[in-house]
Amino acid sequence: MIETAFNGFTRFDIDVNGVRIHGVRSAATLASRARPPLLLLHGYPQSHLIWHKVAGTLAERYTVIATDLRGYGESSKPAGLPDHGNYSKREMAHDQVGLMHALGFSSFFVCGHDRGARVAHRMALDHPNVVKKLVVLDISPTLTMYEETSMDFALGYWWWFFLVQPAPFPETLINASPEAYLAKKLTSGSAGRTPFTDETYAAYLSYMRDPGTVHSMCEDYRAAASIDLVHDRADREAGKKIVCPLHVLWGERGIVHRCFAPLQDWRKFATTVSGQSVASGHYIPEEIPQILISELITFLG
């Protein structure tokens, strides 16, 4: 099923920025050379497989590259540094920019979901000449979400506050029952287990059963609650904003919709912002793939 969804795609493993990044790209043919590149970045606790319902259709119009972020899927999982800097969104964005350059793309479109959207946010700030247009799915800016934390948000996004605890506490608890943890994380949303095929769910569970991946995921969140906030506050104080066109989509049945105002939030961090809520929970690429495809084609052109 997963393999069929990526028919015509080529798997790759590319060493860049001190790590190996795994991913897939749509066929590089004479006919596809005119198709603009589109980088797809997944969220937690998943991998590039979240795009399996949309990648094939998008590949008819774009050169699609879907990767596993540092620490996720089949990409490298370095041990976290004391300041969590090697899992900062700045470093994770460097990975992806270097990867795209290695594939021959100096500028490109980006669509990110969840953690991938946070990496894409930093990419657009640090590499403004690289990101042509940006789409973020079901997030408000990290700085906003931490600074405006409410009881409702803290209870709904409990992993934001659990995973950031010092190692090895969260790792130990997750490794004791990865099956129970993944079920709690993935299936407690508004759509339950429905968005996830048996094949993708099994893949996500295989990642959660790997202690190295669990540690990396925790480091991603530890970075978000520490060094990433330092970077974000420095940019805010300097008045630095995303300058490429930004399109924001968020699920009207999700916690971001309930606790934040994504369009208003992003207009404080970007110069040109469009977007809307969509009939979905958090996992937009797997819940409403056809709506997402339509939104991407309309916005990216």
**Please, are residues 272 and 246 in contact by the beta-carbon 8 Å criterion?**
yes
Would you state the structure tokens that stand for residue 9, as one six-digit string?
A: 């795609």
Give the active site residues.
Answer: 114, 282
First vs last C-alpha separation in the chain: 29
pLDDT reported for residue 182: 98
How far apart, in whole angstroms, are the C-alpha atoms of residue 8 and residue 29? Answer: 10
Does residue 29 surpass a pLDDT of 70? no
- The β-bridge partners of 249 are 137, 276
Q: Mind listing the pLDDT tens digit for each residue in 130-165? A: 999 999 999 999 999 999 999 999 999 999 999 999
How far apart, in whole angstroms, are the C-alpha atoms of residue 221 and residue 45? Answer: 11
Would you state the structure tokens that stand for residue 61, as one six-digit string?
A: 């119009």
Q: Mind listing the pLDDT tens digit for each residue in 32-56? A: 678 999 999 999 999 999 999 999 9
Burial degree of 54 (CB within 10 A; 0-12, 13-18, 19+) = buried
**Please, are residues 137 and 112 in contact by the beta-carbon 8 Å criterion?**
yes
Q: Mind listing the pLDDT tens digit for each residue in 101-132? A: 999 999 999 999 999 999 999 999 999 999 99
Going by C-alpha positions, the residue among 225, 212, 207 that lies closest to residue 168 is: 212
The SS3 call for residue 188 is coil
pLDDT band at 299 (very low <50, low <70, confident <90, very high): very high
Q: What is the mean pLDDT of residues 160-186?
A: 98
pLDDT band at 4 (very low <50, low <70, confident <90, very high): confident
**Please, are residues 210 and 218 in contact by the beta-carbon 8 Å criterion?**
no
DSSP 110: E
- Residue 91 CA, chain-centre distance (Å), reads 14
Average pLDDT of the chain to the nearest whole number: 96
